[in-house]
């Protein structure tokens, strides 16, 4: 059963969880480390005995720390969302902005959860001053009983996982996390894509990508990193420059069928590693596949057919990503 965290984010790797699990199951390590934990979906599904989970976004870390300290429980969440959800309904949605202002002033983790579950498209975005700035999803009845139950069950599940393991959550820059690595650690790194998000907690440069590579290799720990390999428009050249000493495994993140044959698009997600994985090939072999126009896919093809409207939306998104350097 897939564990779904209560916090939403556009960078969430729910779709990669099973793949990462299959590829890391047989690897031995003392501690699972994530320098970019985000929502934590990967760690919470892998359920390592011991983990160091870090992010530079204090709100994510505070949220999970509050669960760990039992300041946030499923009961507290249920009560909170019922009350705040009623205010949202009574004010025809205006209460969202009251909570957003309150959160930007005080940073309460329950307010963070409220915003994450009632903002537009479950996005997580912060302005230049670090303020949450995603607008309301425009559904005043957002916190219907069924959703509140779902979220409080998600909180319950996560608190059980945290309680069973020896987990440490830290708000810190990835450079600090790299400096704390031991060779017996296993690292799952999921950095932002270069140039893609320019957000207070989520921007990323070539220099940082190189620093990350050097730090991971230098730590002597085994690691995997998730990134993208290619789409219809571009190939991620960093895979073959910065990460050229790594094995590569790929998966089709989306393969959707639009209205026309020409709308068929594949986006290849990649995991890079300093160890050979179940699905991986060498970097050199991947490069030669690309040069010789041979399939870049190292796993079984899975076709997701989506309705025309959604296919067009995805097409649009790919074009935008392309413009932003993805
Ligand atoms: C792609 S997301 C990770 C998503 C996560 N794997 C998940 O499934 O939810 C990247 C994360 O890196 C964090 N981040 C960005 N720059 C960072 C930095 N310099 N140090 C530490 N974390 C950083 C962001 O706050 C964001 O949560």
The CATH number of residue 132's host domain is 1.10.1020.10
Residue 21 has pLDDT above 50, yes or no: yes
269 lines ligand 1 (CB under 6 A): no
Asked if residue 205 and residue 263 are part of one domain, the reply reads: yes
CA of 200 to the centre of ligand 1 (A): 11
Asked if residue 252 and residue 310 are part of one domain, the reply reads: yes
> What pLDDT is attached to residue 241?
97
Q: What is the mean pLDDT of residues 57-86?
A: 98
How confident is residue 311, by pLDDT bands cut at 50, 70 and 90? low
> What pLDDT is attached to residue 319?
46
What CA–CA distances, in Å, run from 94 to 71, 83, 104?
Answer: 27, 15, 16
How confident is residue 239, by pLDDT bands cut at 50, 70 and 90? very high
> What pLDDT is attached to residue 326?
39
Domain boundary among 102, 131, 159: 159
**Percentage of the chain modeled with pLDDT above 70:** 87
Asked if residue 168 and residue 81 are part of one domain, the reply reads: no
Residue 64 has pLDDT above 70, yes or no: yes
5 lines ligand 1 (CB under 6 A): no
Asked if residue 211 and residue 141 are part of one domain, the reply reads: no
> What pLDDT is attached to residue 198?
67
Asked if residue 168 and residue 122 are part of one domain, the reply reads: no
Q: What is the mean pLDDT of residues 218-234?
A: 93
45 lines ligand 1 (CB under 6 A): no
What CA–CA distances, in Å, run from 164 to 42, 63, 74, 126, 198?
Answer: 16, 18, 16, 32, 36
Q: What is the mean pLDDT of residues 7-25?
A: 93
Asked if residue 105 and residue 173 are part of one domain, the reply reads: no
Of 69-73, 238-242, 262-266, 303-307, minimum mean pLDDT range: 303-307
> What pLDDT is attached to residue 168?
98
Q: Is residue 179 part of a domain?
A: yes
> What pLDDT is attached to residue 301?
75
Q: Is residue 1 part of a domain?
A: no
Residue ranges of the alpha helices (H) in the chain? Answer: 17-24, 41-46, 58-68, 74-90, 95-106, 109-118, 145-164, 174-179, 206-219, 283-291, 308-323
Q: Is residue 7 part of a domain?
A: no
Q: Is residue 173 part of a domain?
A: yes
201 lines ligand 1 (CB under 6 A): yes
Residue 304 has pLDDT above 70, yes or no: no
How confident is residue 289, by pLDDT bands cut at 50, 70 and 90? very high
Cβ(223)–Cβ(211) below 8 Å: no
Q: Is residue 6 part of a domain?
A: no
Domain boundary among 139, 159, 179: 159
> What pLDDT is attached to residue 27?
95
Q: Model pTM?
A: 0.92
Q: What is the mean pLDDT of residues 197-215?
A: 89
Nearby residues of 65 by Cβ (< 8 Å), 6 or more positions away = 169
Number of H helices, E strands in the chain: 11, 7
9 lines ligand 1 (CB under 6 A): yes
Which three-class secondary structure state does DSSP give residue 28? Answer: coil
Q: Which protein residue's CA is at the shortest distance from atom 23 of ligand 1?
A: 56
Asked if residue 257 and residue 174 are part of one domain, the reply reads: yes
Q: Is residue 2 part of a domain?
A: no
Nearby residues of 293 by Cβ (< 8 Å), 6 or more positions away = none
Q: Which protein residue's CA is at the shortest distance from atom 19 of ligand 1?
A: 173
Asked if residue 185 and residue 212 are part of one domain, the reply reads: yes
Assign residue 208 the CATH number of its domain: 3.40.50.150
Asked if residue 83 and residue 169 are part of one domain, the reply reads: no
130 lines ligand 1 (CB under 6 A): no
Asked if residue 155 and residue 196 are part of one domain, the reply reads: no
Q: What is the mean pLDDT of residues 293-299?
A: 91
227's tokens: 């990134």
**Percentage of the chain modeled with pLDDT above 90:** 79
What's the pLDDT tens digit per position in 117-135? 999 999 999 999 999 999 9
Q: Is residue 9 part of a domain?
A: no
Q: Which protein residue's CA is at the shortest distance from atom 17 of ligand 1?
A: 56
Asked if residue 101 and residue 19 are part of one domain, the reply reads: no
Q: Is residue 273 part of a domain?
A: yes
Q: Which domain holds residue 180?
A: 14-58+164-323
Domain boundary among 159, 186, 211: 159
> What pLDDT is attached to residue 305?
52
Q: What is the mean pLDDT of residues 161-178?
A: 98
Asked if residue 286 and residue 232 are part of one domain, the reply reads: yes
**Number of domains the chain contains:** 2
Of 31-40, 218-227, 232-241, minimum mean pLDDT range: 232-241
Q: Are strands 166-171 and 50-55 parallel, antiparallel or unpaired?
A: parallel
CA of 202 to the centre of ligand 1 (A): 6
């Amino acid at each position: 059963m897939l564990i779904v965290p209560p916090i939403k984010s556009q960078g969430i790797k729910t779709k990669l969880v099973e793949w990462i699990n299959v590829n890391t199951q047989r690897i031995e390590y003392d501690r699972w480390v994530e320098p970019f934990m985000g929502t934590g979906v990967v760690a919470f599904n892998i359920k390592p005995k011991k983990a160091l989970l870090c992010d530079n976004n204090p709100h994510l870390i505070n949220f999970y720390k509050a669960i760990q300290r039992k300041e946030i429980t499923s009961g507290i969440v249920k009560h909170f969302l019922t009350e705040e959800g009623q205010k949202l309904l009574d004010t025809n949605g205006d209460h969202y902005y009251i909570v957003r202002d309150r959160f930007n002033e005080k940073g309460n983790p329950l307010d963070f959860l409220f915003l994450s579950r009632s903002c537009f498209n479950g996005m997580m975005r912060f302005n230049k001053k670090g303020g949450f700035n995603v607008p309301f999803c425009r559904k005043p009845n957002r916190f219907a009983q069924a959703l509140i139950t779902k979220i409080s069950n998600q909180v319950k599940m996560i608190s059980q996982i945290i309680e069973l393991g020896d987990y440490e959550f830290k708000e810190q820059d990835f450079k600090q996390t790299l400096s704390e690595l031991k060779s017996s650690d296993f690292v799952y790194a999921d950095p932002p894509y270069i140039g893609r998000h320019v957000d207070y907690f989520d921007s990323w440069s070539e220099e940082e990508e190189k620093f990350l590579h050097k730090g991971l290799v230098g730590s002597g720990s085994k690691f995997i990193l998730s990134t993208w390999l290619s789409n219809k428009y571009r190939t991620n050249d960093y895979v073959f420059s910065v990460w050229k000493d790594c094995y590569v495994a790929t998966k089709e993140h989306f393969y959707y069928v639009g209205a026309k044959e020409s709308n068929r698009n594949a986006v290849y997600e990649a995991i890079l590693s300093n160890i050979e994985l179940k699905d991986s090939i060498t970097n050199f072999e991947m490069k030669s596949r690309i040069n010789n126009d041979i399939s870049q896919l190292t796993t079984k093809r899975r076709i997701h057919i989506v309705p025309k409207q959604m296919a067009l939306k995805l097409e649009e998104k790919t074009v935008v990503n392309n413009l932003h350097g993805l």
